[in-house]
Amino acid sequence: MSTPNGYTPDMIKEMLGTSMPDPPGESGNVMRRRKGQEMRDGKRPFPVYKTKKTGPNFDEDGKYIYPEGSGFRYTEFLKDNPNATTNNKVS
């Protein structure tokens, strides 16, 4: 069997050497679905991400806890100083 350019598949493999692609026999979507099913079945561990362990801190109400001295917070300033602005409503 010859390709349109005149080379046989064996000749192409010989020219490419180790850079010849070796398909795994399944498409990327099939591989993704198989790995997901293996994780749900318990055959493969779920990935663990370091960023989730060291992520932002939230209190029990779900509000973000800012680091000490992180900056100016306008909403807290208005709560502490209710008469700071004459009219803070947007019309």
Whether the model pTM is above 0.75 = no
pLDDT in tens, 12-36: 888 888 777 777 788 888 889 999 9
pLDDT in tens, 30-72: 889 999 999 999 999 998 766 554 556 777 777 777 777 777 7
Q: Using CA atoms, how far apart are residues 35 and 84, in angstroms rounded to an integer?
A: 58
Each residue of 11-31: b (16+ CB within 10 Å) or e?
eeeeeeeeeeeeeeeeeeeee
Cα Dmax for the chain: 87
Structure tokens at 18: 């180790």
3-state secondary structure of 58: strand
